Amino acid sequence: MDTVALTFDDGPYPETTPALLAALGGTRATFFLWGEHAAAHPELVRAIAAAGHAIGNHTWTHRHLTTLAAAEQDQEVRRTQDLLTRLTGIRPALFRPPYGDTDATVAKTLVAHELTEVLWTVDTRDWAGCTTEEIAAAAGAVRPGGVVLMHEGRPATLDAVPRILAALIARGLRPGPVQP
């Protein structure tokens, strides 16, 4: 069975993360966590890890990395790496730049932290306020081996997850985490 990676950015959020974990059930995904949010909600980071999901680094403050000096980029990544490692006991191997904003300097920062950059093949545009139906339809366009971009903290995304899972399975696709 072909796989499709489900990814969720920007969490954790106490308002939606527990319900998202419940909606995913036994399906594993990759959560790219925002350092400030993770620091504010360490119990949710631990819950994501305990449920068997992959955890990736999404920087400390969610800034456009290409606008920062190399030392600032390093601090954004390092602080988040250190926190997530401390909270879960596992050093993240995956990284998603906020806004998909990346360049050669970002790539050098990631090499220094032994991180693999993960972008996406399908943007559900949940961040733009799309409806549950629009999010599910966008995710439905993913091809085998693709990566679906979604965001925590969006009620419409939360409502779309069961539909997305059912549609992928009906197509013979296996939803799961990013494979490094």
CATH number of the domain bearing residue 18:
3.20.20.370
To the query of whether residue 9 is one of the catalytic residues in this protein, the response is: yes
Residue of 9, 37, 58, 126 marked catalytic:
9
Model confidence over 141-157: pLDDT tens digits?
999 999 999 999 999 99
What residue numbers bound the domain in which 92 lies? Answer: 2-176
Active site residue 151: yes
Catalytic residue among 64, 103, 151, 159: 151
**Res. 51 pLDDT band, cuts 50 70 90:** very high
Q: What is the pLDDT of residue 74?
A: 97
State how far the Cα of 28 lies from the Cα of 125, in Å rounded to an integer: 21
pTM: 0.97
Q: Is the model's pLDDT at 77 over the cut of 80?
A: yes
Report the C-alpha gap between 141 and 51 in whole angstroms.
27
Angle between helices 155-170 and 132-139 (to 10 degrees): 40
- Counted domains in the chain: 1
